[in-house]
Amino acid sequence: MKLIIASLSFLLLVGCASKDYAVYVDAQRSMSKDLTMSETARLAALTDMTKNSDPGVRATGIMLIQQLQQGSKTVVVEPPKKNWLGF
């Protein structure tokens, strides 16, 4: 009887942890994909600015690209919290 209760509680704890972790992994993937797409679009727009014939627009585009490279930040999602047993 104790073995059955221990097995069921273990399966319950493992099932909950894996569900939260799957949601965490999906959120990380989605955010990484969105960040990559937005950075690609931003760099494409700034590259078009540097190809402009107006020297002021070109200088602004180059300056913005340099600022973008210096201030790159990553988005971090907190991993799911563990329960009191460490699962």
Within-domain flag for 85: no
Within-domain flag for 20: yes
Q: Any idea what DSSP says for residue 24?
A: H
Tokens of 68: 């973008």
Within-domain flag for 55: yes
Phi, psi (5° rounding) for residue 54? -75, 125
Q: What is the pLDDT of residues 14-73, one digit of tens each?
A: 555 556 777 878 888 888 888 889 888 988 998 898 898 899 989 998 898 888 877 666
Give the global pTM.
0.54
Within-domain flag for 75: no
In the three-class reduction of DSSP (H, G, I as helix; E, B as strand; rest coil), residue 87 is classed as: coil
Within-domain flag for 32: yes
* Residues contacting residue 27 through CB under 8 Å, at least 6 positions apart: 77
Higher-pLDDT residue of 24 and 84 is: 24
- Domain hosting 44: range is 2-70
Within-domain flag for 87: no
Within-domain flag for 79: no
The total number of structural domains in the chain stands at 1
Within-domain flag for 84: no
